[in-house]
Every structure is written in structure tokens, then in C-alpha cells.
Amino acid sequence: MRLRRDRVIELKSPEQFARMREAGLVVARTLQVLAEAVRPGITTADLDAIAAQQIRIAGAAPSFLGYFGYPATICTSVNEEIVHGIPSENRRLAAGDIISIDCGAIVDGWHGDAAISLGVGDIDPADQALLDACRAALWQGIAAATSGNRLSDISHAVEQSVRASGNYGLIRDYTGHGIGTAMHMEPAVPNYGPPGRGPQLRAGMALAIEPMITRGSRHAAELSDGWTVVTADGSRAAHFEHTVAITPDGPWVLTDLARESALVSESAANGEPDAR
């Protein structure tokens, strides 16, 4: 993946970030409902139906459905599937599985995109460690998403975190991305690399940061369905994603429900005195 420094990165106003927050909250609430629904016996098609209903009752639109022909509302990637797994009534979750659920929604033309990975029932401690390492890497990347930093400072922070957590495969073939009036925009956000490279981060940018790691090698393959990305070695994988706004006061995690775990308050992001 080459960083395309020549391409324009969309800048958002505080008011536009507020619209993106609406979309982000729809995604966050949908993922919360889905996480509570995950249990042995449920199918990934059941999860997709729940997501479609949640997004619709929130007055938002799903962004994945129909995207380059994608046939569902969410992506459900089980065990050795890394990303872009297609929900199916034939995929019934069992205790011990792990699943990544990726969800996107649009409000007033503004996009939110996030993913979580979680266990089904009791899981192998090594799988739990995989999930924890991937979540930690995402948050280290988020912490590096500050104005004045360079894009690859995020990439480097993610990679360093993954390396510090253990001997994991770090996927390189898929990246995070800019987001705003479209789901996938400039710049690509790699999950590895040296610090200090790429465009300087500025308030008004929004990025979807999404590390993907495996218990084995970093190599991925695409199934014949044209979507599902699996590990080449069959090892299990995890994937976490947040949509992050870069504000003068730091990163604002638009797809995080918990206000206190967002690094800045909504009032600060709107240019008002910090209410913390």
C-alpha cells in the first residue's frame, strides 16, 4: 500500500462532525445490540436482520448493503475469517467461536463505520488474548490521531502495540481509511510502518482505524464468494474499528458509545469550552 500524498483529504466543520457523530452513534448502538445478541445457536443472518432493523428504526441507512454489490447490512467474520464475511442462515454460531461484526450507517449523507470482535460463549484464553491485543492496538492508534502528528504515526502506534502484545500476524493487505461523505475516502490508513510519514493530520479530518491481526501469519486470501477474507494458514483472526474525528482537542471517537472513553468531550469538539 502506497500512501497517496497527492490526493485531497476531506476536512469537516464542527457541525459536520456533529452529523458524523449521529451516524457513529447509530453504528455504536447497533453493535451494542448485536453484541448482546451473540450466543451459541444464533445465525449470522439473524444478526444481519437485527442490524438492518436497528439502523432503520434509528432513521439511518446501512452503508454496506449494495456497496459494490455487497449483499448484506453487516459483515460477520467467524474464526479464521478476518473481514467481509457475508451473513448466512447456514452459519450458526457455536460456543468457542469468535466473530468480528463490522457495521456502517449513513445519517444525512455522513458516514460512520466500526467493528468489534467478541467470543461466543466460553472461548479459548488464547483467543481472548487475540481479541484483547487487537482492541488495545486500535486504541493506541486512536491515541496517535492528533493534529500535528503524521498519518503513519497512527500506523506505527498500531504496529508497536500489536508487537508488544505477542506473536501475532498483522494484516497488511487491508487498511483503514478516510471517511465522511463516503465510507472509503483518502487516505488509506495502514496498520504498520515507520512513524513520521505521510500527510500531516489536521483538525477536521476523520479516519476509520481498523487493525486486523491473527494467531498465525499475516497472509490473507479471498474466498470464491468474492468477499470473505480469511487467514491463509487457517489461524483465527480479530478485527476492531472505530471512526475517529481529529479535533483541536484531540481524537473524538465518533463510534464509541461511552462518552468518557472518547478522548474529548462533544462540547470541546464543537468549539465550546471544555465541559469536563
**DSSP H stretches of helix in 177-237:** none
Nearer to ligand MF3, 140 or 255 (CB): 255
Q: How far is CA 268 from the centre of its chain?
A: 24
Residue 101 within binding range of Co ion, rule CB under 5 A: no
Contact string 245-274 vs ligand MF3 (x = CB under 6 A): ------------------------------
Dist. CA 129–CA 145, nearest whole Å:
25
User: Contact, 131 vs 119, CB < 8 A?
Assistant: yes
Q: Which candidate, 139, 143, 162, places its Cα nearest to that of 153? A: 143
Looking at beta carbons only, is 100 or 140 nearer to ligand MF3? 100
Span interacting with ligand MF3, options 64-72, 118-126, 158-166, 242-250, rule CB under 6 A: 64-72
Query: Taking a C-beta distance cutoff of 8 angstroms, is the pair 238, 133 a contact?
Result: yes
Is the CB of 26 or the CB of 264 nearer to ligand MF3?
Answer: 26
Tell me the backbone φ, ψ of residue 6, rounded to 5 degrees: -85, -15
What's the closest the beta carbon of residue 177 comes to Co ion, in angstroms? 6
Interface with ligand MF3 (CB under 6 A), residue from 70, 88, 92, 232: 70
CB 12 → ligand MF3: shortest distance, Å? 19
Q: What is the spatial distance between Cα 89 and Cα 207, in angstroms, rounded to a whole number?
A: 33
Contact set with ligand MF3 (CB under 6 A): 64, 67-68, 70, 75, 84, 102, 104, 113, 177, 208, 210, 241
